[in-house]
Each structure stands twice: as structure tokens, then as C-alpha cells.
Amino acid sequence: MNQRFTIRATRWNAVFTFLLFGFGFSSLAYSQAWGLPEMSSITKDCLKCHKDTDHGIYQQWGNSKHFRANVGCYECHAAEEGEVDAFNHEGQWIATIVSPKDCSRCHTKEGGEFADSHHSKAGRIMGSLDNTLAEVVEGNRGMVTPSFQNGISAAAVNGCWTCHGTEVKVLPGGKLDPATWPNTGIGRINPDGSEGSCSACHSRHSFSAEQARNPDNCGKCHMGPDHPQIEIFYESKHGIAYRAFKDKMNMDSSKWVVGEDYHQAPTCATCHMSATPDRPATKNKAAVEGMAVTHDVGMRISWNNRPAISVRPEVSDKKMGLPGANINWETRRGNMQNVCLNCHEQQWVDNFYVQYDSLIDLYHDKFAEPGVELYNLAKPLMRPAGFSNDLDWTWFEIWHHEGRRARHGAAMMGPDYTHWHGTYEVAKHFYSKMIPELEELIEKGKESDDPEKVAAAETLAAKLEEVLNDDNHRWYINKLSPEELEERKRRQDEFKQRYE
């Protein structure tokens, strides 16, 4: 009944709008019909020029809900004299950038949730190892602008900053530094002090919820060798179902509740952001009530798989000073299960999490924890500049690329990314590159005239021997027990007989 009512109301709204404008009614008539405030006189003045000089923008806005609510140019771009990025344009103080702080004047709940999310903090990558790669190792200081007199790397400007965001620099007169604008990185640091960019997901000037619900919208940033969520999604059963039935997903629905407005497949938004209906009590008490839309995408994840060793999300929230530090991973897992249970039954959901957690445990125990310790012990034997050693690259790619792919693949049920792009690559490079590189450092260190390097080499050698004699790695030094060898042979013989 709810779905029928929503579809019917949407259709009548569309018909009414067509009739209203098809017969030449003005925006004033539309406003009066729906009880909306009239469009401001300042916005009307803006449109006299901008409908011709920026026709594409004008058309996008004209098809938006903002237009139908008489929210126009001035309502979003208005500024106060004295604001850092304000400039006088045709007698009005305006700003080019519309920040989350500006959007929050109307979208208070959404703005608050977004401000509390990791998305809004993505611009802080500028001090990270990733950005060092782009600024120094990959790039140089060849791009000189008013704010970067000594130059900045175009690799960082066009790469890292475009997804993560940059600190927008304002030049005299309100113009924006070309190294930092245009930029719609989701963690952009704005001149008004706010962090984030709503238009990263709700592209200007239509600001469409339908677009934001589309997985390809997230795939702009969540793709590639280190976080291939969009590729994993399209490999998964969820992504296959979405592609098969996307024309039946009702993605332009005003409320878009899973199980009511659509049921064929989930998108990224379904699982991480969108609304769920009220449902009967289930085994997991945290998954009883329906949920509203949230713009804090961390409220439904139970592992943060970004670091070399995964952490619970409340741990990373605490590190970043976010209020999510007070919400534990069990509650967040219950939130996600609330979504899952609209299509799957309880046993299916419970068993999925057993499989997922087991993959995390395997990666931690076998590779990540010993890898971190071995890499840190090797540092005294390496050249001091980051990424000037083979081992720097090897270890970085093991955890940052391959280890993440394995963990994200398991989280999103992408088997090929979990195995061939994930744990296989981790194992191949751990055994074929990292261990030989460690052994070479140990050999050179022991031959050194520097007593400190000799001591560091001996410490590293002892740790490496301990790791390789662990149950996880004994196969590598040919120390499997007779019983283990016999079991392996039995399984291989069984396989051959089955397919003989």
C-alpha cells in the first residue's frame, strides 16, 4: 500500500507540474499551488543573466527539487561582507563555494551526520603516506600558483585531492587558487572552516538523490587497486542483481525504503545510508527497529579495513575525535543486519559474518601482524627516505593494496577479489618478495662495521626465524609434520579420483 501510494503521488505530482508549466503558469503560480515561498527577487535577478551565460547549469537547476521549492542561486551562494571567500557581484555579496555549512541551513540533520563521518575528514590525507607518494615520489613542485609559490605536485592536485579534497585557498578579491579549485573532493576543507563537499555525491546543480543512490556515484572514488569497492560490488551477487533489475529499482522515489519501494537488489546507499522499514523482532536485538537515512556511512560497518591491521570503527572514530567513538561495533553490525534481514533470513546473515570475521582473523594472524613487526625491525637496516627501498614498496602494496582487496572482497562477497586479487597476491609477495628482501637486509647488516646495524640484523633474523617456524608458515621451510603431509596427499588423491 505504501509503495502504491508513493508511486501514485509521484505520478500526480509529475502530471500537475506538467500541466502547470505546460499551460504557461509562472513559478509564482506553482509556489501558491503548493504553499511554497516565492522565489527571491535576488535569485530572479541572477537568472536574467545566468540562464543565458550558464545555460547547462540553469537547465540542471530547473529540473531539480531546489527549483520546485524556489531555492535558487542566491539562497545557496549568499555570503556576508567580510567572509574570507566573499566577493561583490552585481551589488550582492556571494561566494563561489557552497559548503556543507551552507547546505546545513536547510539540511540540518544531513549536515550534522556528514560532519561526524569519515567522509568529511577525507581531506586530512594531505599529511599521509599516500599524499607523500603523490607529492614527492610520483611528482615534483612543478605547478606554481599564487598560494604555492614554491610549487606543488600536479599528481597530488589531479589525483589524491580530487577524491579526498584539498584545502581551498582564497586569493585577493574572492578568486580561488587554481591548485585547489575546482575541487569536489568529499573531504574538502572549505574557506568557512567546514569540512566536506555535498556536491561530491549530489552533483551540481541538480543535486539528485537518484544519482547519489547509484553505485557508479560511489565508484568515482571507491575503485582501483587499493579500495576496489565498485569492482567488488559488480562482481558480487548484489551487483549482478542490480544490473539486471536497475530499471525496476524506483530510484527516484521520494523515500526509497528497501522492501517497500524496491526489493530487487541493494546499492551502496541501501546498505550504508538508506532507510529500512520497521520489522518484527529478530535474534539480534540491535536489528529490531527500522532505520532512517543516515549521512554517516560508518554507522553500519563493524571493521575499518583501511589500516595495515583492521580496527573496530569506534577506535578510528576516537582517533579522529568523532562522536562515533561512543558507538560500538556490535551496534553498527546490528544496523547493517537490519538492512540484510530485509532480503535474507537470520541464519544466512549470521553465517556470513562468521565467514567475514574468519578472513579478517586469517589476514591478521598470518600476514599483517608479523608483517608490521618485521617491517619495523628492518627499518634500521634500510635507507632512511621512505620508498627508497624495495621493502618499502613490497610491504606497502601487501597491506595497502592486496590486503585491503582481500578484506573488502570478503566484506562485500566478491570471491575473486578476496582470493586472486587479495589473499593470493598477499601470499605471493610475502613469500616471494618480502622474505627474500628481509634476508638480504639481514645478511648485509651482519657484515656491517656498524655495531648497531649488526645488532639490528640479529634481532630481525631471530624474529624472522620465529615467524617462519610458526604453524602458519612452516610449509615454506619444509617443516610440515608427517601427519600434515599425509593429509595433504590424501586430499589430492581424493580430488584426482573424483574427476578421473
End-to-end Cα separation, the chain, in angstroms = 57
What pLDDT score was predicted for residue 29? 55
7 and 250 Cβ atoms separated by less than 8 Å: yes
Whether 112 contacts 104, CB under 8 Å: yes
Grade residue 278 by pLDDT with cuts at 50, 70 and 90: confident
pLDDT of residue 14 exceeding 50, the answer is no
Tell me the residue type at 395.
W
Q: What are the tens digits of pLDDT across the range 440-484?
A: 999 999 999 999 999 999 999 999 999 999 999 999 999 999 999
Q: What is the mean pLDDT of residues 16-43?
A: 59
Range 190-206 average pLDDT: 96
From the list 171, 192, 185, the residue with the least C-alpha distance to 124 is: 185
Worst-scoring range by mean pLDDT, 219-233, 261-275, 281-295, 427-441? 281-295
The whole-angstrom separation of Cα 424 and Cα 417 is 10
Taking only the tens place, the pLDDT of each residue in 68-115 is 999 999 999 999 999 999 999 999 999 999 999 999 999 999 999 999
CB burial string 82-104: b at 16+ within 10 A, e below: eeebbbeeeebbbbbbbbbbbbb
SS3 178: coil
Could you tell me what percent of the chain has a pLDDT over 90? 85
Q: Locate 431 and state its grid cell.
A: 613469500
Question: How many beta carbons lie within 10 A of that of residue 59, not counting itself?
Answer: 13
Share of the chain above pLDDT 70, in %: 91
Q: What is the pLDDT of residue 38?
A: 86
Spatial separation of the C-alpha atoms in residues 437 and 393, rounded to whole Å = 11
| Among 367, 334, 327, CA closest to 353 | 334
| Alpha carbons 397 and 279: distance in angstroms, whole number | 43
Residue matched to cell numbers 572482497? 409
- pTM for this predicted structure: 0.89
Which grid coordinates are listed for 28?
A: 509564482
pLDDT at 320 > cutoff 50: yes
Average pLDDT, integer, range 258-276:
97
| pLDDT given for residue 127 in this prediction | 72
Query: What phi and psi values does residue 16 have, to the nearest 5 degrees?
Result: -60, -45
Beta-carbon contacts of residue 446 (< 8 Å; ≥ 6 apart): 454, 457, 458, 461
C-alpha–C-alpha distance, residues 48 and 56, integer Å? 14
**pLDDT score of 129 more than 80:** no
Give the E-state strand segments of 376-470 in sequence order: none
pLDDT tens, 334-387? Answer: 999 999 999 999 999 999 999 999 999 999 999 999 999 999 999 999 999 999
Best CA proximity match to 167, nearest among 137, 141, 131: 131
DSSP E strands in 132-177: the ranges are: 143-145, 148-152
- Local confidence band at 16 (pLDDT 50, 70, 90 cut-offs): very low
- Please tell me the distance from the alpha carbon of residue 201 to that of residue 117, in angstroms, as a whole number: 14
For residue 143, the model assigns a pLDDT of 96
Tell me the C-alpha distance between 490 and 225, whole Å: 37
C-alpha cell at 263: 526489493
pLDDT score of 132: 83
Strands 143-145 and 148-152 come out as: antiparallel
Confidence of residue 279 (pLDDT cuts 50, 70, 90): low
Output the average pLDDT for the chain.
91
Amino acid found at 309: I
What pLDDT, on the 0 to 100 scale, is given for residue 288?
Answer: 53
Rounded alpha-carbon distances, angstroms, from residue 334 to 64, 182, 310, 316, 447: 35, 39, 19, 19, 56
